[in-house]
Structure 1
Amino acid sequence: MASTFQLYRQIESKPLGKRAFSLAFMLKAPYFATVRPKVEVMEPHRGVVTIRKRRGVHNHIGTVHAIAVANGLEAAMGLLCEATTPKGMRWIPKGIRLDYSAKVPTDVRCEARTDMADWDKQPPFQVDVRCTAYIEDGSEVVSGVIPVWVTAKS
């Protein structure tokens, strides 16, 4: 069975490949369908999704709800972890720490990043995945960390 990352690499450059992968991603983790993340980048140490501003993710003031942004950041983190976790290991998020610095009045780009050194350890270990969300003009609106616990597969 192909890994999630192998599947992404096989279809990303095909017509509608990223759209098809985004749909498959939501089927694998159905809760993400609430924000409909569009997968932009899946590679080692980097995951990026876009959340479209639409009524289903609005808060009471008509901007993108903070938890919708958090879901987008968690989706980006999941893509990064799937592409980065060494063979024979598995990962699970341990929590989430986010600072919301501004309203989100537009579509939002959710980005997760790590460095090679973050993963150069013997299991079990924790990786602090850095997460940032940006609105269309490039302004940062949310930043934080999602700690991920990495262990050997049993």
Structure 2
Amino acid sequence: MTSTYELYRRAGTRPLGQKAFSLAYMLKAPYFASVRPQVIEMREHRAVVQIRKRRAVQNHIGTVHAIAVANGMEAAMGLLAEATTPSGMRWIPKGIQLEYVAKATSDVRCVAETDAGDWAHEPPFQVDVRCTGVLADGTEVVRGTIPIWVTAKK
């Protein structure tokens, strides 16, 4: 278990702990600050962040910009990787493949998921993290994969 995951678990037991953790996560990875991901869930094989629809993340037609959703998906993937990567290993994203399938007309939940079997390899290995961006009514707006490379720590 990484220190990030342990911090999330401790923060969740305190009042405003998840909000404080979300802020700390943005400070640790400053490029997430533009989308202000609110951490909803972090555990092995699953992480969820919420991106609020606000002017700073909208495009010229007034919807949440697809790249803002991609940033939210990457934030969720990072949380999943921190919670799932076995002790003695490290990870780094190798790319991102996304499909924009509908307009993001409201807040977007970005979900990252894997299965235990995805991690059942000797390092080095690749894990394809499945990601989706969904509106509150269940409409999928973005879906894709973020491959991460997992290696032994030196």
Q: Check whether TM > 0.5.
A: yes
In structure 2, what residue type is equivalent to 1:114?
T
SS at match of 1:86: coil
Partner of residue 121, structure 1 = 121
Amino acid at match of 1:6: E
Cross-structure match for 1:54? 54
1:85 alignment partner in structure 2: 85
Question: Partner of 1:34: helix, strand, or coil?
Answer: coil
Structure 1: tracts of 5 or more residues without a match: none
Tell me the secondary structure at the aligned position of residue 86 of structure 2: coil
RMSD: 0.7
Q: TM-score, normalised by structure 1?
A: 0.98
**In the comparison of the two structures, how many residue pairs are matched?**
153
Superposed counterparts of 1:1-154, under 5 Å? 3-154=3-154
What is the rounded CA distance, in whole Å, between the counterparts of 1:24 and 1:69 in structure 2?
20
- The two structures have a TM-score, normalised by structure 2, of 0.98
CA distance, structure 2, for counterparts of residue 139 and residue 102 of structure 1 = 8
Flag as ranges the 4+ runs of structure 1 deviating above 6 A: none
Helix, strand or coil: the match of 2:36?
coil
**How big is the shift at 1:59?**
0.3
Unaligned runs of 5+ in 2: none
Secondary structure of the structure 1 residue equivalent to 2:90: strand
